[in-house]
Amino acid sequence: MPDKKAFNASNQHNLGKTPVNETRPSVSHYTVDEGDEGQRLDNFLIKHLKGVPKTHVYRLIRSGQVRVNKGRASADSRLNLGDIIRLPPVRTSESGQTAQELADKELLNPVVAREFAILFEDDAFMAINKPAGVAVHGGSGVSFGVIEQIRKARPHAKFLELVHRLDRETSGILLIAKKRSALTHLQNQFRARETGKTYLTLVLGDWPGNKKVLNQPLHKYLLENGERRVKIVDASDPNGMPSVSLVKKVAVGPRHPQLDQLAFSLLEVTIKTGRTHQIRVHLAGNGHVIAGDDKYGNFEINKKLAKVGLKRMFLHAWNLRLTHPITGQEMTFNCPLDAELSAVEDILLQNKINNAILQSN
C-alpha cells in the first residue's frame, strides 16, 4: 500500500473520494477548475460538502483543517484556477456519513437529465420557464432539482449555477448562469435591487386598489416538525428582515356562491426584496391569501378550487427586467401563464363555473 505522502500526491480529484484499499475515511484533495474559479472558499465548501452544517464548515476553516495550497485560508478567500484544496475526513452531524458516502447514496436516486423551455440563452446565461412542482435544487427531502437535471442533460458544460431561486410550487422565469462572471454580475443586480421582478398571482377576495405598497418585515422560523414558515413582524422586532412588495390589481371577478361568496383578484406583484415566501406571506397577512397555497392559504377553498382545475398555487414569475452581465444591454423577459393557470383565470374572473363541479361531497 502506498505511503500517505505518495497517496496524497496522486489523489487530487473530486471531493470525498476514498481510496479503494482504505477502510476508513481519509484526507482528500480537490483541484479548482474553471467552474469553481473565483468562488469564496466557504461557499465552495458549502456547495460541495452536501449534508455538512454551515457551522461545521466554518469550524473546519478556522481550525486549519481545510487548506489551500498547503496553507491556511480564510472563509472569504477567493479560489484560483489550479488551487489545491485539502479536505479532512468529514461526517455530517445528522447521518454520520462522509461526503463520498452521501454521493454514493445519490446513486440510488440518480438525477434524470432534463431540458426546460428556454426563454433566452447565450454564452453568459439562460432564462428558462420552470414548471410548478419542481424544486430548483436538491435538498430538504428532494434528491435533485432543476439545476442538477440541466447539468445532467449538458455534461460538457463547464459551469451552470442558479442565479436566484423560486419556490417549488412557483412557476416561471428562472435564471441560470453559464459563467462565474455572469453569475456574480447578475446576483449583484438582485442584491442592489436593480432588477425588476414581477409575479402574477390570483388571491381570494377583492384586493383594495389603494393598497399598493407592502413594507412589512418578515421573520423566518421553524415549526416543531422542522418545516419552514414565515410571518410578518413589527418593525421593531430584531428578527425582522426588511421586505417590500409592490401590488397592482389587474382584474377582479364576480363573487361566487359556490365559493363562500368570494371574488378573486388577479394581481401583479413586484418584489423589491427576495425573502423566503415573501409574496405569499405579505398577501396572506393583508387578508388575501393566494389561491391554492397549501401553507398560508384557505384549505377548504383550495379543495373546491381543485375541482375547477387548480391543483397548485397560483403564483407565476411572469416578468423580469435586468441588465445583460456582459454587454450591458437592458433586457426584459416575459413568461405567459401555463394552460392550467390560464384556464383557472378564465373560470374565476369570468364566473364560468359549473355548479355541479363545485358541489361538496
Active site residues: 167
Orientation angle between helical segments 54-62 and 41-48, nearest 10 degrees: 130
Give the integer Cα–Cα distance in Å for 68 and 51: 22
E strand residue ranges, 212-311: 213-215, 218-222, 228-232, 244-252, 264-271
Q: Indicate the helix (H) or strand (E) that contains 317.
A: strand 315-323
Phi, psi of 239 (to 5 degrees): -90, -5
| Residue pair 127/320 in contact by the 8 Å Cβ criterion | yes
Give the integer Cα–Cα distance in Å for 277 and 293: 11
From residue 57, give the alpha-carbon distance in Å to each of 28, 63, 83, 213. Answer: 15, 10, 19, 39
Cell output for 65: 483543517
Strands 213-215 and 244-252: antiparallel
Instruction: Please tell me whether residue 328 adopts helix, strand or coil conformation.
Output: coil
Number of H helices, E strands in the chain: 10, 15
Q: Burial level of 8, CB count in 10 A (0-12/13-18/19+)?
A: middle
Give the integer Cα–Cα distance in Å for 36 and 48: 10
